[in-house]
Chains A and B, each alone.
Chain A
Amino acid sequence: MNVMVPVKRVVDYNVRVRIKAAAVDLANIKMSMNPFDEIAVEEAVRLKEKGKADEVVVVSVGPRDCIETLRTALAMGADRGILVACDGAIEPLAVAKLLKAVCDTEKPGLVLAGKQAIDDDCGQTGPMLAALNGWAQATRARSLEIDGTSARIERETDRGTESLTLRLPAVVTTDLRLNEPRYISLPNKMKARQKPIAETTAAELGVDITPRLTVLDVAEPAPRAAGIKVKSVGELFDRLHAAGAL
């Protein structure tokens, strides 16, 4: 069984983006692999190490800079990469269609995606891909076991955790508690340079990626007004009472 992991290049989670000239200012900003995708790559590589997967293929949709993101995944232990080159904003539905086209040729037994990209905060691509493929899905996985033709997933829900059995192939999206991604060693970084990265385009895959939504405006939310410091627990509760907050 092959495992496919879509990896998105996003603004690093430590960066606070700003608005400049009515747009999100992305000039000279640190970019990284979406943290949830790192967790997905880690899980896929662990499946391979456990003998549950034969090959780990990582796919990124975006500008040529995404090759760097693919290389990071290859350094973590993925076997080969695919870049679907495109410029400009791309919506989850279009990404899902592109990934569907890649699935049609790659025929993975499992797609491990992130539960959400931390830039658009959409959380759509995984379930959309599952639907387009007619596959089962489990979002927010905190544990994953492959057993022949099925997968047993524990997922985080609003009420606790839930176990699901999925028929494979399926799409599983990762949550924070699934694993802790490994540290990349220098030798593995070097090795990753030799691993193959294929390139394709939306046109080659026959997918129309024209955005459907129009972004009319982006703005920074109003900051909260500054507060005050209190000296003691007693003063804290006095003030809360006086303000009617308790």
Chain B
Amino acid sequence: MLSYEEIIEKYEPALGLEVHVELGTKTKMFCGCPTEFGAEPNTQVCPVCLGMPGALPFVNERAIESTILIGLALNCSIAPWSRFARKNYFYPDMPKNFQISQYDEPICTDGYLDVEYETPEGMKTFRIEIERVHMEEDTGKSLHVGGATGRIHGAEYSLLDYNRAGIPLVEIVTKTVLGTESYAPQIAKAYVKELRDILRALGVSDVKMEQGSLRCDANISLSPRGSGKLGTRSETKNVNSLRSVERAITSEMHRHAQRLEAGERVVQETRHFQEDSGTTRSGRSKEQAEDYRYFPEPDLLPVAPSAEWIEQLRAQLPERPSAHRARLQQLWQVPDKEMAAMINAGVVGVVEETVAEGADPTKARTWWLGEISRVANEREVEVVEMPITPKDVAEIIALVAAGDLTDKLARQVVEGVIAGEGNPAEVIAARGIKVVSDEGELVAAIERAIAAQPDTAQKVRDGNIPAAGALIGAVMKDTKGQADAARVRELLLGLLGQS
């Protein structure tokens, strides 16, 4: 088997990313039903989104507005005239057995998104070209009951929930991305992250990958260097987190390389990412391309946004995340390397929110990049997906600054919040965490430590200052870490005649 470095040496990876975004409109794409997540099954439905005979779609103007905003933010051309089309295929959770989508006349085309990534050779910008941004409606959900896998095969019966049917979706499709080389998995992840930040800044979606409001299909192919043509691609679905984007692509690169090295061909197919193993499994083959019999949707008029409207929307665009980050870096006086680390860890947003809660930028950055990142790594989740809020972190920083917590105690509080024990105040109360500042209590503890380790104490008296560490450790243990270590040291050295 080839190592990753060997794969890159022999093959050039080509990426393609399709991102589906559920828009955060109050109502569905083609009817007035609410779009809230998590309602009782089949309670947010009407004749239109159930595909009742005779029902007709009517377009949600907010959805078109959101799509144009996305297109503009991704530097796309906005078509003065575009059409909806029907994509025909049978599936039980699709009420009409066709999906209203866009085909050869999408609303936004030919854009790009610049993605910054810190490589060992320094910060690099990769331009990801966008082929199209188009609108469509979501399908319902099938729940397959019985059987071992929860998949349709082997299930006893299936339940259908149409609440999601008709929720507006925007599909953002990149052109084939070449030139990312060994960084292909990281660039893919950075692209989705950057895209997510933009969508969040636009306020068009809540972009929660775990709830499915942002979904990514990752296409990858390998072509032997110098062959001059693209290899056969696979499309990986079910990629439900940023980390999974990176893992899925890495795993597919290894799988493709292995097949190619063994003289086998890569099958063009849909694959499903499996979170537990970090690998993909085969879905349906796309060798026989499904014929969706697209044709223009006769029930809807073409979408023809006026130039004035487009310019109005352009004027509403928020600051681009990259510009925003540059501004923050200057404002907070962050060194380039630190800034790059923040970008790669995806914590700029949460640090900013923590600062907005009153925290010192350096302290905020240290917490998010340090302790919280460490736990996130252990848990294999993204830092921003950790169950601690910027407000929690700001409170903890304030408590340390006021001397109510030591750094060590603060870490315990962070740990408690992440463990779900409540907000910082609740964790402090429940765990009985407090700084021991009663000098009498401290002196008593120090005297107990000296009494327990007379030899060590003697060493300190004799001028071996580093030996004091063992005694300080004992005192900290005695006080359950609630003492201020610096003050313990001061008092100890005083008692042993070394101040």
Do these two chains really belong together in a complex? no
